[in-house]
Amino acid sequence: MAKIYTDDLIRFIYHETTSEESNDISVALLSNSYLMAEFELLNETITQLDSISMNPHPTSIKIIMEESRKQSAEFAH
C-alpha cells in the first residue's frame, strides 16, 4: 500500500481490509507515530460513537405516523 488514508484506517478498525492491506497498515502504524496517533484517535472516536444509543423524539414519531396515516388514506381512495 503506497499511502494510507483515513478511510483505510477506518476500514482496518472495522476489519474490512484484505490481509495484505492489514499487514501494510500494521507495519505503517508501527513505523509512523503520526499515523498511529490518527489511528488511536479514530479508534477512540468510533468506540464512543458505537456506544451511543439514540432514540427519536416522540414528536418526530407522531409526525411520521400522522403522515403515514394520511398517505394510507390517500392510497385507499
Tell me how far CA of residue 13 lies from CA of 24, 36, 51, in angstroms.
Answer: 14, 12, 15
- How far from the centroid of its chain's Cα atoms is residue 2's Cα? 24
Strand ranges inside the chain, DSSP E: none
Q: Whole-angstrom Cα distance, residue 44 to residue 57?
A: 27
pLDDT tens by residue, 20-75: 999 999 999 999 999 999 999 999 999 999 899 889 999 999 999 999 999 888 77
Give the predicted TM-score (pTM) of the model: 0.66
Average pLDDT over residues 8-20: 96
CA–CA dist 16, 42 (Å, integer): 15
